[in-house]
Amino acid sequence: MERLEVTIDPLVCACTGYCVQIVPAVFDLPDDGPTVILDPHPPMDLIHELREAENLCPTQAIRVELTGEPEQES
Binding residues for another protein, per CB under 8 A?
Answer: 9-12, 14-18, 21, 33, 52, 55-56, 58-61, 63
Nearer to another protein by C-beta: 32 or 73? 32
Phi and psi at 66, nearest 5°, equal -95, 125
Q: Which residues pair with 7 in a beta bridge?
A: 63
CA pair distance 38, 56, nearest whole angstrom: 19
Rounded to a whole number of angstroms, the minimum distance from the CB of residue 72 to another protein is 26
Nearer to another protein by C-beta: 8 or 72? 8
Nearer to another protein by C-beta: 46 or 61? 61
End-to-end CA separation in angstroms for the chain:
14
